[in-house]
Amino acid sequence: MNSEKITETFLKYFEKHKHKIVPSDSLIPEMDTTLLLTSAGMVQFKQALLGKQKPIAPRVANIQRCFRTGDIDEIGDRSHLTFFFMMGSWSFGDYFKEGAVDLAYDLIINGYKFNKDKIWATVFKGNKQVPKDIETKKAWLKYLPKERIVELGEKDNFWIVGNTGPCGPSTEVYYDRGKKFGCKKKSCKPGCDCDRFLEFWNAGVFIQYNKTEDGKLEDLPMKSVDTGAGLERFAALLQNKDSVFDVDIMIPITNKIKSLSKKQSKIEIRVIADHIRGAVFLIADGVRPSNLERGYILRRILRRIIRNAQLLEMKENYMEELVKTVIKTYEGTYYKGFNQKEILNTIEEEKQKFEKTLNKGLKKFKDFNFKKTISGKDAFFLYQSFGFPIEITKDLAKENKLKVDEKGFEKEFKKHQETSRAGVEKKFGGAGSFGEKVAAQHTATHLLHQALKEVLGNEVKQAGSDLTPERIRFDFTFDRKLTDEEKKEVEDIVNKKIKEALPVKLETISLKEAKMNAIGLFEDKYADKVQVVSVGKYSKEICAGPHVKNTKELKHFKIKKEKSSAAGIRRIKAVLD
């Protein structure tokens, strides 16, 4: 069964069982300040799961593109990916544990025709806060013998996205791939580190609790179900492939890498295949390389591609060929409207930057003549001087049988970020991050953001910004060019608010309170307390930046240019006269 048929079967099954089918959300979370990237299908439904927002339907299903860095060190094995497609279904206060198990088993056996004798399930064994999940175990006993139902702990069978928010015990479905994939131990079963038992569906996270910032679990007013199945793992099983890198939607990429390489190495090929796919989708959704947050995640994977491509001695134009292959493979069915030119330009620019320092950094690495461990300071030196993300230093360490002090690196990295912020303040001479001129630009972006929502619709959201004393650059989600009339209307609204001389108020409140009545701009991972900026009663946003005291200080706002920045992302360049 090919991947397109797998997703079609999934959606048709849940549609038949009264689930509303919804589109994939962006990889940039819309209203979740605790996450840098969409790492699970439930992210767009978080407020509904918490009971703070009415669900769009009692039952929902979709195919969500996801990105996770938690398993980045595992890339190259049979089953792990940073970027993947999650087939998911949800029940908001409708069916619960038994209903989820019934649907999962029915679809697995009667829809996908899996061998029922190879199916195993896991349930939560309980901890000090949450009791053993007896109800789900009973539900599985209708279909599986008790020896194929395994109780596992919090690491495997209690699910939460991020550090706080909706969560609960889960039940996962495993497929026994046979002894040839395993460790040969008689005790081998789900939970073992070998490849024999492949977890291919989290058939139910039973959302019962909200984990607060102090670690407490509060009962939610509504019990919900959140499921997730990795498409690539499903495909590996249904297509009888050795790994996720051998399935129909991955093989064009791995084959292209092989054709462009003088050397052939499975690990490097798989790392490049995973990372180039993730990079294309991140850029398509509006992420750009930088040294901050999600931009740094993109930079890390692009630079790791470059390093691994060097090891494989790939042809000079490999990036262009790989980008075209990814787009050709996924255009239409999995994503509509890739901006190939923008994606290529973004990647090539990063490639040129890093290639200039890569060989110098590799030479310096040899000069260090490390013995057993690369210290945090030395790892940070390689990052700061030669742009080596920690993954590249770890790869080099592995090649040379060394260890890396990752905690030491993180400590140095955080120290550097704090120093950089202070340096920006000093450079522009003023309170907060910038001087008076840039503070005015900052306040203008808030007016622009709100004006765009008024003119184009409330679904518009910020996708990035760059401010200098000379101009504003503002990226936002929208799928077409603005008309001259729309641009003028946006301009007029902003200038009207400037003339109204609205007071600009800055206050520090709890993140929880801010989420309820302010817009998040998502430039940083927010702390427990955040700064909220109110421009009169017109705009209210979470923002750590500096601002003027009154909109009259902005004088006059003018849009100079509006163009595409990426697929579904537009860019406005503007000035304050």
Residues 127-181 have pLDDT tens digits of 989 999 999 999 999 999 999 999 999 999 999 877 788 899 999 999 999 999 9
* Predicted TM-score of the model (pTM): 0.73
What is the predicted pLDDT for the residue at 557? Answer: 95
**Residues 27, 65: contact at Cβ < 8 Å?**
yes
SS3 content of the chain, % helix, strand, coil (to 5): 45, 25, 30
d(CA 516, CA 533): 14
- Partners of 530 in beta bridges: 509
Which long-range contacts (C-beta less than 8 Å, at least 24 apart) are formed by 476-483?
476/449, 476/452, 476/569, 476/570, 476/572, 477/26, 477/286, 477/568, 477/569, 477/570, 478/452, 478/568, 478/569, 478/570, 479/337, 479/568, 481/562, 481/563, 481/564, 481/570, 482/456, 482/562, 482/570
What per-residue confidence (pLDDT) applies to 142?
97
CA-CA distance, 96 to 143, in Å (whole number)? 17
Order of strands across the sheet that contains 472-477: 462-467, 472-477, 569-576, 557-566
- Positions of the chain with pLDDT under 70: 30-33, 417-436, 469, 511-530, 544-545, 566-567
Q: In this structure, are residues 464 and 449 in contact, taking their beta carbons and an 8 Å threshold?
A: no
Contact 201, 111 (CB under 8 A): no
The pLDDT assigned to 50 comes to: 84
CB 286 within 8 A of CB 568: yes
Q: Are 172 and 121 in contact (CB under 8 A)?
A: yes
Give counts: helices (H), strands (E), the chain: 17, 19
**439 contacts 430 by C-beta, under 8 angstroms:** yes
* Residues recorded for the chain: 577
CA 334 vs CA 9, 102, 112, 252: distances in Å:
15, 28, 21, 15
Question: Tell me, what DSSP letter sits at residue 25?
Answer: P
Strands (E), 345-467: 373-374, 403-404, 462-467
| DSSP H or E stretch at residue 227 | strand 217-230
- Tell me the CA end-to-end span of the chain in Å, nearest whole number: 60
Which tokens belong to 384?
């700061």
274 touches 75 (CB < 8 A)? yes
The SS3 assignment for 523 reads coil
Tokens of 25: 């959300």
Rounded distance between C-alpha atoms, residue 234 and residue 229, angstroms: 7
pLDDT of amino acid 461: 84
Residue 339 and residue 347: Cα distance in Å, rounded? Answer: 12
- Which H or E run contains 331? none
Ranges of H-type helices in 429-483: 436-456
Q: Looking at the DSSP assignment, which residues form a beta bridge with residue 7?
A: none
